[in-house]
Chains A and B, each alone.
Chain A
Amino acid sequence: MNVQSTPVLAIDSLRVEYPLANGSVFTAVENASLIIRPGEIHALVGESGAGKTTIGNTVMGLLEKPGRIAAGSIHIDGKRFDPARGSAEGIVLGRDVGAVFQDPMTSLNPLFTIESQLTEAMRFHLRLDKAAARARALELLESVGIPEPKRRLKAYPHQLSGGQRQRVVIAAALSCNPKLVVADEPTTALDVSVQAQILKLLRDLADGRGIGILLVTHNMGVVAQIADRVTIMHRGKVVETGTTEEVLRRPKASYAKALIGAVPRIDQRLDRFPVLGDEGKGRAERARAELRAKAERSNVAAEEAPILSVENLCVDYTTSGWLPGSKGHRFRAVDGVSFSVRSGEVFGLVGESGCGKTTIANVVSGLVRPTAGRVLYRGQSIAGGGASRRVGPLRQAIQMIFQDPYSSLNSRMRIGSILSEPILFYRLASTRAEAENDVARLIEAVGLEAEAAERFPHAFSGGQRQRLSIARALGARPKLIVCDEPTSSLDVSVQAQILNLLKDLRDATGLTLLLISHDLAVVRQMCDRVAVMRQGQLLEQADSETLFDAPQHAYTKELLSLVPTLDRIRGETKAA
Chain B
Amino acid sequence: MLKVLLSRLGQAALVMLVVSAVSFVMFRYVGDPVATMSRENASVEEKAELRRSLGLDQPLVVQYGRFLGRTLRGDLGISYRNQRPVTELIAERLPATLELVIVATILSLALGIPLGVLCALKPNGIAARLVQALSLIGISTPTFVTGIVLILVFAVSLGWLPSFGRGQVVDLGWWSTGFLTISGLKSLLLPGITLALYQLTLIMRLVRAEMIDVLSSDYIRFAKARGLPTRYIHFRLALRNALMPVITVTGLQIGSLIAFAIVTETVFQWPGMGLLFIQAVSFVDIPVMAAYLLFVGLLFVLINTVVDILYAVVDPRLRARSA
Contacts and interface: CB of A to CB of B under 8 A. Distances in A.
B210 to A, nearest CB: 13
B66 interface: no
Interface stretch (A304-312, A322-330, A469-477, A486-494): A322-330
A324 B227 contact: no
B317 A101 contact: no
B59 interface: no
B73 interface: no
A95 B316 contact: no
B226 A62 contact: no
- With most chain A CB atoms within 10 A of its CB, the pick from B7, B228, B320, B322 is B228
Interface stretch (B101-109, B216-224, B284-292): B216-224
Contacts of A158: 316-317, 320
Contacts of B240: 111-112
B228 A94 contact: yes
A441 B321 CA distance: 47
Contacts of A324: 3, 6-7
A156 B219 contact: no
A324 B322 CA distance: 12
Contact of A109 (B4, B227, B241, B322): B241
Given A321-B3, A324-B6, A324-B7, A124 B218 contact: no
A540 interface: no
A28 to B, nearest CB: 17
Interface string A118-158: 00110011000000000000000000000000000000101
A182 B314 CA distance: 33
A410 interface: no
Question: Which of under 10, 10 to 19, 20 to 34, or 35 or more describes the interface residues of A?
Answer: 35 or more
A111 B6 contact: no
Interface string B280-323: 00000000000000000000000000000000001111001111
Chain B contact residues: helix, strand, loop or mixed:
helix
A125 B223 CA distance: 13
A101 B221 CA distance: 9
A159 B317 CA distance: 8
B222 A322 contact: no
Interface in B36-83: none
B27 to A, nearest CB: 35
A251 to B, nearest CB: 32
- With most chain B CB atoms within 10 A of its CB, the pick from A62, A182, A319, A322 is A322
Interface string A83-125: 0000000001111011101010011111110000000110011
A124 B221 contact: no
A156 B316 contact: yes
A109 B232 CA distance: 14
Given A112-B237, A124-B232, A159-B320, A94 B226 contact: yes
B1 interface: yes
B219 A106 contact: yes
B233 to A, nearest CB: 10
A111 B316 contact: yes
A418 to B, nearest CB: 26
A110 B222 contact: no
A107 B219 contact: yes
B227 A92 contact: yes
A60 interface: yes
A227 interface: no
A323 B2 contact: yes
A99 B223 CA distance: 10
B126 interface: no
Interface of B: 1-4, 6-7, 217-229, 232, 237, 240-241, 244, 314-317, 320-323
Given A93-B227, A109-B219, A182-B225, 19 more contacts: A97-B227, A98-B226, A99-B225, A106-B218, A107-B221, A109-B220, A109-B237, A110-B241, A110-B316, A111-B315, A120-B226, A124-B227, A158-B316, A172-B226, A173-B226, A322-B1, A322-B323, A324-B3, A324-B7
15 contacts: A60-B225, A62-B221, A62-B225, A93-B224, A93-B227, A103-B218, A106-B217, A106-B218, A111-B315, A124-B232, A156-B320, A175-B226, A320-B3, A323-B3, A326-B3
Q: Which 3 A-B pairs have the closest CB atoms?
A: A94-B227, A99-B225, A93-B227
